[in-house]
Structure 1
Amino acid sequence: MRTAEVKRRFLAHFEERGHTVVASAPLPADDPTLLFVNAGMVPFKPYMLGQVSAPYKRATSVQKCIRTLDIDEVGKTTRHGTFFQMNGNFSFGDYFKEDAIRFAWDLLTRSQDAGGYGLDPQRLWATVYLDDDEAYGLWRDVIGVPEERIVRRGMADNYWSMGVPGPCGPCSEIFYDRGPAYGREGGPEVDEDRYMEVWNLVFMQYERGEGTGKADFPILGELPAKNIDTGMGLERMAAILQGVDNLYEIDETRPILNAAARLTGKIYGEHSGQSAAESHPDDVRLRVVADHVRTALMLISDGVTPANEGRGYVLRRILRRSVRAMRLLGYDAPVLPELLPVARDAMAPSYPEVARDFERISSYAYGEEEAFRTTLRQGSQILDQALDTTLRAGEGGSLAASTAFQLHDTYGFPIDLTVEIAGERGLDVDVDGFRELMSEQKRRAKADSQAKKTGHADTGLFRSVLDANGPTDWLAYETLETDSTVLAIFRDGGPVNAARDGEIVQVVLDRTPFYAESGGQDSDAGEITAPSVTAEVLDVQRPVKGLVVHQVRVTGGELGVGQPVHARVDHEWRTGARQAHSGTHVVHAALREVLGPAALQSGSYNRPGYLRLDFAWRGALSPETRSEVEEAANVAVRRDLPVDVRYMPLPEARDIGALALFGETYDENVRVVEIGGAWSRELCGGTHVAHSSQIGSVAITGESSVGAGHRRVEAVTGLEGFRYLARERDLVSQIAEQLNAPRDELPARITALVERAKKAEREAQRLRDEITAGQAGKLAEDARDIDGIAYIATTTDGDARGLASRIRDGVPGGRPAVIAVVGTSGFVVTTNPAARERGLSAADLVRSALEGKGGGSPEMAQGKAPADAAAALDRVAALIPSRLG
């Protein structure tokens, strides 16, 4: 039975029993305590806590889940996976233990012809919590399970919570006996490989507090109503019904594993004589690839994109682990173009959207692999040399934090990969030191931004203002001016009663017309005035939801708490902001019109007259394509398309095709901005023009890469667009005048000039090479002897690498030599074969002379040119005696 059919039967079974079928929530969890949905009940958590009234008494779902704690264990056993699907049925104050047990038993044991799973009742076991006599009696007396197949277990096994404060309660698990081939008799207490857990029935009665582990937490009290939360592992049930051993062999995973085995020439299970706990490394790596490729497909499908933090980092990590696992299996070519389509075909029967959105999904995945292959080329050699040096030094067997940080910061080498590779060489990594260096860097980077956003004020102070006065009456859509009252003033992180001329402070008003920076749109500019005070508005933010805070510079008089003021947005500023934000939507629609639906926005920024838009795409846009996009945008401007704003429930917005920014969370009711109806339809909270013609013009000024699989378009609008085109016109006129050529002949004239300049540069380089060759021979003759090593050190205004190579090649026969050259291109050290035989490595000398910076091979290495060239050259000389073998 295919996994998609297992899923369909589950939902149909519970729908027939009065349950509302609820679609899976996206994997990114709308919960501050979680990165991803990690259990089937997570989307229903507010109902179980009584925070929100459930819109139904009974529900059923098949929820996509991610558990990141098991990433390092994936593949080592056949039970760990990052992505899995949890079938669940839920009751919110309706039925409880008896019906939950009966519903589960009926589906498991009913014949397949009648729509069930057809499991043999004699092979099913039940466990209950230690003192749950009610559940024990139901299994024994209502279902008829013999007492010898009902097991009481403790809190670690049969008491459920999400691992964080929230709903909890005793549970009852159902196990399936896979037979003596899988282990010992005696039930799940004896062997959970043979007795596989297939269903967990949680009797949600209590709320737990903070704590650690599965049992160390307080019970805060009973929930408002008794609830049922059950979870049946879809992959586990599919494995049983398909007659395979584990989740890696079911129809949604095995095709990926088989494709990876075919590409690498490996035979999965060839070494199956070993126990599961001692899987052959090849089998482990094939399982890692199968799990991670499928997980990446599902994460990108739900809007997660590779990044250096949070959810994006988890995705980046699993993509890179799958690529590296294939390299360790001997496959060096690009991996994902071969395997991701296989994952798509395996998952599409259950999730058609992965096929529908595959162009977008694959663009992110392939771009990330391409970037990682570059990272591996640049970083692996440096890491290997650092590990070699650490092993030779024998200093506790730990790679220095500074080296790990340099690999991460300079080459993009992720710390987990550094740890993994070091572990394979028997070395530790100073991870604590690495994290401290990372934290220090982040603290420096965030200092200026934090000052801009909140003036260093504690958000708790802002929240107290919100609690005392309610949310700001925000009127940015309705008006550009309001009569307001000052509710609070903050300076240097604390509250003050007044602000005087020249001071920069944060001001909270009871109502405001100012747009607060959000959705990519910069905040409004303007002023706050009263008869005795003027203040310039520099920035507007929402440090806590519902509260608008203005950063202002008092330019005259004194501004005080409780003072009536007049808040006024700069009309020209808002006009330019509207043009730019509507222009962003127009450029996005134009990109999709020219490139196709995969060119989805992944980020944006706009201010008056300027916009930039990041979108998913691999490869630079040609000049012709840029012109097409620009023309499509300006055609939309000329057509004077109406700009309409509507409010509607989020599901309705999705149904009509409104585009949302992936990774963002939205309220239940959303604001939909349409330009020309369906031509441009997006969820957006920004300010816009009334008709597209009011944008004025769109001129694309640049297009560039902002990361693997992402491009950035920059453009100017309105008056800035006209000014840009005027400057371009004037520039062309000046060039035409200087070259004394008609405009249409300029490209050919400039090409000819460039070719002439290149030819002259080649001739100049030839002459420099001849001079360098003469220098090389003389320098080799004058070499300094250090313990039998010829050491030649010099500086040059030319090519340091070229000069170093020529000197090395000019050293007479067989004499060990080290050459160090400081030039405009950097600090270069090279060694000849005789020197390397005596234990000297150019990479080691460069890194030691430059205090850990730089890298290369034992033959030639390079670093940044030092401020004191003579001192650096002397350090190399001092290092040579200690490095001789």
Structure 2
Amino acid sequence: MKTSEIRQRFLDFFAERGHLVQPSSSLLYNDPTLLFVNAGMVPMKPYFLGEEQPPARTLASVQKCVRTLDIEEVGKTTRHGTFFQMCGNFSFGEYFKSGAIQHAWDLITTAQDAGGLGFDPDTIWVTVLEGDDEAAGLWREIAGLPAERIQARGLLDNYWHMGVPGPGGPNSEIYVDRGPAYGPDGGPVVDEDRFLEIWNLVFMQYELSAVRAKDDFDVMRPLPKPQIDTGAGLERIAYLLQGVDNLYEIDEIYPVIGRAVELSGRQYGTDHDDDVRLRVVADHVRSALMLMADGVTPGNEARGYVLRRLLRRSVRAMRLLGVTDRVLPELLPVSRDLMGLSYPEVLQSWERISQAAYAEEDAFRRTLVAGTQLFEGAVRTARTEQRDTLAGEQVFQLHDTYGFPYDLTLEMAAEQGLQVDREGFAALMREQRDRAKADARAKKGAGQNLEAYSAVRADGETPFLGYTELLTETTVRAVVADGVSRPSAGEGETVELVLDRTPFYPESGGQDADGGEIIADGLRAEVVDVQRPVPGLITHRVRITFGEVAVGDTVRAQVDTTARMDSCRAHSATHVVHAALRQLLGPTAVQAGSYNRPGYLRFDFNATQALTPGLREEIEGVSNEAIRSDLEVTATEMPLQRAKDLGAMAMFGEKYGDVVRMVELGGPWSRELCGGTHVESSAQIGLLTLTAESSIGSGVRRVEAFVGADAFDHLARERALVAHLSDLLKVQPDQLTDRVERLVGQLRTVEKELAAVRGQQLLARGAEIAGAATDVAGTAFVGRTLEGVGGADLRTLATDVRGRLGERPGVVALAGVADGKVSLVVATTAAARERGLQAGTLVGVGAPVVGGRGGGKADIAQGGGTDVDAAPDALGAIERAVRAEAAGS
């Protein structure tokens, strides 16, 4: 049975039993505690916490998930995958333990020709929480399982919670016995390879007030309505039903291994190390594909770093399999064709995905070349210091700073007859992971103190009236200070107010929050921020400048109308820029983020190259043409699928309900899902002027612009600057460009003349520097630190000094110190190169000493760093390397 068929069979089974099928959410779920969706229940979290009402009392889904904590285990076990799909059924007070057990048993044991999965009932084992006699009894009653196939385990294995205060409860896990060929008998408590878990039924029946660890928490109270959350691993079910040994061999993954085998000439199943590498390739290629389909681009932080790591590990694994050519253009399309069957977004975004992935591989191939030079420098240092082990710090720097793979370092070190300080490297990696976990805990903790907001939200949401009203009479529902509800607040305090309705727009969708005032007789409070701490609830952070406010007070909420109109202009202009970019760059210019406030916008989009000046002018021109055309701006609520059918653009990672708000400018020219505030027609924007374009990460560009009066002010400042320069240079404005170009040309001529004079002065010192050469194991060695000399002059001097050494073996190493930086240049004579002394290798020894890197050819190489005081030490390291190599030759 194909994986896609199992997926559909699961959904059909629960749909027939009254469950509302939910589409998979994006992997980039809008949750500050998570990097990616890592469990099938994550999109259901607001329902379990009571922050939102579920669309039905029973739901079912197959959710895309990514887990990165086990990335190093990928390929080594049968069950660790980075990307996986979690099948789940959920009940919000409709059924509980007996219903969950009955559904699970029916699906897994019903014959395949009757719509089930067809597992042999005699192979099924289950675990329950110690003391949960009810669950054990239901398994005996419903499934007829004998007592010996129902095993009790402790909290670490059979209790589930989210890691933060909220719902939790015991769980029951379902296992399939794969037979004696896979391990010893005795059930899951003995061996979890032979007895493979396929489904976890969570009986959420308590509200937890504090969570310290998996098995250390405080129970506050029973939930008013017990809930069911289940998770079944689609890939695990697939490889059991498809009769293969591990998840890497199922129909959605193995074809990538097959293509990698063709490219490498290796055989799968004959060598353990090769098999691990082939599985890594298959897993990581698929995982990277799915992340990019949901909008992630390679980068150096957070989600982008995870993607970069997956892509680079794939390339590295293929390199270890002997393939040095580009591999992603061969492997990624295979995974695209497999995953596109269930996830159409993969096919729709293919052009953008492939561009980003292939550019990342090219960049990594360049890194491998540079990393090899740094590795060789580390080897030289180790040999000079007569060590047979590469220091953990050097290996970590190669891995973490320069992206050079650890496994490749191990292999290359072994080829050189060297060991690696694995313990030192591991310790540094642990420190890095601990820092990451601490950061994650900090983020998680930041979202914990929501009890006051959730209590208010339980009484109803906050209606937003701001699309049509800017002044509203309303009632204070709650006063919150530092996460704690209070009855009132007084003059001079800054607190949060929850109103029973509001015209204030809360910060969201890239739009800044409204400002304004909340007033009443005897009260004046300045609104400084507006947020949604929990879904459906709007809070107003206010500074009380006069009087007192109390729960139940009737007040007037007044939005700053001027700032609101400027925000509308900026937000509508953001849509205009997005449409202009897609018109000129094509569909790959997908939004990657945005921010707008009164008079200003910035827009991030996917692109592999910078915008040319001409293209920037075109974007600005198309945008202002759309503004002048006075395009009608409309906002319409409609079903999500209807908006998608109309081509409405959605933001990656945003959560959309069944009914969405689609904003149009000029009909089909710009259609986006958006909850922000907008002008009524594009002419109200007034004017747009682009002010900047830059890179904010690999494959992501940013444009910034002023709009409306701020655009006019910006142009007025530029006009004043032009007038000042024209007056200063005594030319007309239209002659300014020519005059500045002539001045620049004259300055360059003078700079060249000065450089020539400096060069002559330096060359005059060449004889003196060459004369100071010392003998180092039969090699003439020149090492000199020069103050105030930069890279280009240093290179010229090094070449001159080398020429003065004649035909004897000679190495020239110069360190120039200028502007707080160190430049290193190493030059070698032909006779020195015959003795194995390579300039590129030698500069690679010295550059890390000054906190940098370097490289070049065998005859001359250049590098540098920022540690000025270490320049003499760098020359000393180079001299020791010369001595070691010359002595060895």
State the TM-score, normalizing by the size of structure 2. 0.76
- Equivalent residue, structure 2, for 1:159: 158
Amino acid at match of 1:348: G
Deviation at 1:131, TM superposition (A): 5.1
Question: In structure 1, what is the equivalent of residue 770 of structure 2?
Answer: 780
Tell me the equivalent position of 1:175: 176
In structure 2, C-alpha distance between the alignment counterparts of 1:519 and 1:792, rounded to whole Å? 58
Root-mean-square deviation (Å): 5.6
**Partner SS state of residue 422, structure 2:** coil
- Aligned to 1:428, the other structure's residue is in SS state helix
Mean CA deviation greater in 310-319 or 611-620: 310-319
**Residue 690 of structure 1 aligns with which residue?**
680
Aligned mates of 2:763, 2:718 — CA distance in 1:
46
Deviation per residue, 1:383-410 (Å, 9 max, x gap): 6645875795879986449x968986x7
Moved more, 780-789 or 708-717: 780-789
Counterparts of 1:878 and 1:240, CA distance in 2: 62
d(CA) in 1 for partners of 2:628, 2:152: 73
Q: Which residue of 2 aligns with 1:502?
A: none
Unaligned 5+ residue runs, structure 2?
Answer: 414-418, 443-447, 483-487, 885-889
2:422 is equivalent to residue 426 of structure 1: yes
Correspondence 1:831-870 to 2 at 5 A: 832=828, 833=832, 841-848=842-849, 850=850, 852-853=851-852, 855-856=854-855, 860-864=861-865
Residue 445 (structure 2) aligns with: none
Local SS of the residue matching 1:56:
coil
Letter in structure 2 aligned against 1:617: A
Q: Distance in 2 between matches of 1:421 and 1:31?
A: 41
Find the counterpart in structure 2 of residue 454 from structure 1: none
Aligned position for 2:794: 800
Which runs of structure 2 are paired with 1:234-313 in the superposition (5 Å)? 234-271=234-271, 279-280=272-273, 282-313=274-305
Q: Relative contact order, CA 8 A, sep 6+: which one is greater? A: 2
User: How many angstroms does 1:261 deviate by?
Assistant: 2.9
312, 319, 322: which one aligns with 1:327: 319
Secondary structure (helix, strand or coil) at the match of 1:598 reads: coil
- Cross-structure match for 2:809: 814
**Shift of residue 685 of structure 1?**
4.8
Secondary structure of 1:317's aligned partner: helix
Counterpart Cα distance in 1 of 2:752 and 2:205: 81
Q: C-alpha displacement at 1:828, in angstroms?
A: 1.6
**In the alignment, which residue of structure 2 is the partner of 1:358?**
350
Distance 1:699 1:43, change over 3 A: closer
Offset, 1:38: 3.0
- Equivalent residue, structure 1, for 2:634: 644
Change (3 A) 1:644 1:776: same
In structure 2, the residue matched to 1:715 is 705
* TM superposition score normalised by structure 1: 0.76
1:361-388: per-residue Cα shift (whole Å, max 9, x none)? 3444445445545555556644664587
CA distance, structure 2, for counterparts of residue 507 and residue 100 of structure 1: 45
Q: CA deviation at 1:249?
A: 0.7
In structure 1, give the amino acid aligned to 2:287: T
Q: List aligned pairs for 1:619-768, cutoff 5 A.
A: 619-622=609-612, 625-646=615-636, 657-665=647-655, 672-719=662-709, 721=711
Cα displacement string for residues 153-176 of structure 1 (whole angstroms, at most 9, x for unaligned residues):
322686241462532224152414
- Quick one: distance in 1 between partners of 2:531 and 2:93? 38
- Paired amino acid for 1:61: S
- Tell me the alpha carbon deviations over residues 525-570 of structure 1, each in whole angstroms, 9 at most, x when there is no partner: 89999999999x9975659673434689xxxxx9676799999987
Distance 2:191 2:672 in 1: 54
Deviations 1:325-374 (A, max 9, x none): 33333434444333222211111112222112223334444454455455
- The letter for the 2-side match of 1:17 is R
2:208 and 2:314 mapped to 1: Cα distance?
37
Aligned in 2, Cα 1:755/1:327: closer, same or farther, shift over 3 Å?
farther
Alignment counterpart, residue 597 of structure 1, candidates 584, 587, 599: 587
Structure 1 window deviating more from structure 2 (131-140 vs 564-573): it is 564-573
Which residue in the other structure is 1:346 paired with?
A: 338
Matched to 1:253, the amino acid is I
**Offset of residue 615 of structure 1:** 0.7
Deviation string, structure 1 residues 18-72 (Cα, Å, up to 9, x no partner) = 3332222333345555443333334345555666655434333222222332212
CA–CA separation in structure 2 for the residues paired with 1:438 and 1:213 = 18
CA distance in 1, matches of 2:434, 2:130: 48
Q: Structure 1: 5+ residue runs without aligned partners?
A: 272-278, 447-457, 500-504, 553-557
Check conservation: 1:854, 1:863, Cα contact below 8 A: yes
- Note closer, same or farther for the CA distance 1:763–1:55 as it changes in structure 2 (3 Å cut): closer
Q: Which residue in 1 is equivalent to 2:823? A: 827
Residue-by-residue CA offset, 1:115-144 (whole Å, 9 max, x unaligned): 333444444445555555555555556545
- For 1:584, what is the secondary structure of its paired residue? helix
Q: Against the structure 1 CA distance between its residues 666 and 776, is the aligned structure 2 distance closer, same or farther, given a 3 Å change threshold?
A: farther
> Which amino acid in structure 2 is aligned with residue 355 of structure 1?
L
Could you say if the C-alpha distance between residues 363 and 78 of structure 1 is closer, same or farther in structure 2, counting changes exceeding 3 Å? same
Stretch of structure 1 that moved more, 471-480 or 11-20: 471-480
Q: Are the counterparts in 1 of residues 29 and 653 from structure 2 also a CA contact under 8 Å? A: no
Q: Could you tell me whether the CA contact under 8 Å between 1:74 and 1:288 is conserved in 2?
A: yes
Q: Distance in 1 between matches of 2:408 and 2:479?
A: 49
Q: Percent identity?
A: 47
Count residues in correspondence: 839
Using the alignment, how far apart are the partners of 1:780 and 1:225 within structure 2? 87
* Higher deviation after alignment, 237-246 or 648-657: 648-657
**Matched-pair contact (CA < 8 Å) for 2:377–2:842:** no
Contact 1:79 1:247 survives alignment (8 Å): yes
Q: Is the alpha carbon distance of 1:688 and 1:241 closer, same or farther for their aligned partners in structure 2, counting shifts above 3 Å?
A: same
C-alpha change, 1:302 and 1:160, in structure 2 (3 Å) is: farther
> Which secondary structure state, in structure 2, belongs to the residue aligned with residue 262 of structure 1?
helix
Cα distance in 2 between the residues matched to 1:748 and 1:761:
20
C-alpha separation between the residues in 2 aligned to 1:802 and 1:769? 8
**Structure 1 SS opposite 2:583:** helix
Distance across 2 between alignment mates of 1:163 and 1:698 = 46
Query: Distance in 2 between the 1:481 and 1:739 partners?
Result: 54
After TM superposition, list the pairs within 5 Å mapping 1:9-48 onto structure 2. Answer: 9-29=9-29, 33-45=33-45, 47=47
Q: Once the 2 structures are TM-superposed, how far is the Cα of residue 3 of structure 1 from its aligned partner?
A: 0.8
Q: Displacement of 1:268 after TM fit?
A: 2.1
Paired residues of 1:174 and 1:200 also in contact (CA < 8 A) = no
Q: What is the match of residue 887 of structure 2? A: none
Residues 142-199 of structure 1, C-alpha deviation per residue, up to 9 Å, x if partnerless? 5455666x2423226862414625322241524143x444344555455443343333
* Alpha-carbon distance between aligned partners in 2 of 1:754 and 1:837, rounded to the nearest angstrom: 43
- Write the letter of the residue equivalent to 1:161: W
**Alpha-carbon distance in structure 1 between the residues aligned to 2:481 and 2:99:** 58
| Structure 2 residue identity aligned to 1:819 | L
Q: How far, CA to CA, are the matches of 1:801 and 1:221 in structure 2?
A: 75
| Alignment match, 1:449 | none
